[in-house]
Amino acid sequence: MFIDLRVHSLNSKGVDSPARLLEEARTLGIRLGLCDGIAYDNALSGVEIKADSKRALIKALRTSWRNFDYVVVHGGEAAINRAATRDSRVDILAHPYLGRRDSGVDAVIARQAAQNHVAIEVDLSSIIAARGVARVRHLQKVHRILLLSRKYDFNIVVTSGAKSRYGLRSTKEAEAVLLSIGFTREEARRALEEVPEEILEKKKLAKREIAQGVRLVED
């Protein structure tokens, strides 16, 4: 099952209500996280941090890290890409290639992402929307991230990047796109399901930690 962790409702960047997005997700047979910066009671809740400096990012992480099921950092700027992958409180670095001529991921960022368990996002909406030369260039960036993940063993997480119910994708649709651009079936499965599950489990355990190395344990 596709677990889509970067979907925006009208409460942030989107146009559809949370209820409508969740209903469409049930129809498609997927799970989704609403990345609105709101702690929902009936849905996976994420926050996407957009920071213009390392200091601003660290400040935002201090206040939001424990309040959400996962934390996404809005990538693209080289300094933010590096700072995000250096901090284990970050779960996902979104679109590190945004506004760039390269993939936004180099050997340093790849090593940091692997070491700190920060997943690098591949956004389906940007792949599907691109046309002509722009599409070729975008696919080159995604392919570069895929090759680096194979070399440095960091996780890739795939999202729809949806801002409406029409942007959501079924598991089969998402998998077909990934297979068409060079992912193996196993890589696609990990990026669509296993990595999101690991992110959510990591945060669940982290929230239970009351002091460094000390966690609450149920009888």
Q: Render each residue's pLDDT in the chain as its tens digit; 219 residues.
A: 999 999 999 999 999 999 999 999 999 999 999 999 999 999 999 999 999 999 999 999 998 888 999 999 999 999 999 999 999 999 999 999 999 999 999 999 999 999 999 999 999 998 998 889 988 999 999 999 999 999 999 999 999 999 999 999 999 999 999 999 999 999 999 999 999 999 999 878 876 654 445 544 444
The Cα 9–Cα 24 span in angstroms is 12
Tens-digit pLDDT profile for residues 153-204: 999 999 999 999 999 999 999 999 999 999 999 999 999 999 999 999 987 8
The Cα 119–Cα 154 span in angstroms is 7
3-state DSSP call for residue 215? Answer: strand
**Per-residue pLDDT, 158:** 98
Structure tokens at 41: 């009671």
* Structural domains for the chain: 3-215 (3.20.20.140)
Q: b/e for 44-73, b at 16 or more Cβ within 10 A?
A: bbbbbbebeeeeebeebbeebbeebbbbbb
168 φψ region: left (φ > 0), alpha (ψ -120 to 50), beta (else): beta
The Cα 35–Cα 14 span in angstroms is 10
Spatial CA neighbour of 9 closest among 21, 23, 24:
21
The Cα 134–Cα 130 span in angstroms is 6
Specify burial of residue 98 (Cβ count, 10 A radius: 0-12, 13-18, 19+).
middle
- Check: CB of residue 156 under 8 Å from CB of residue 148: no
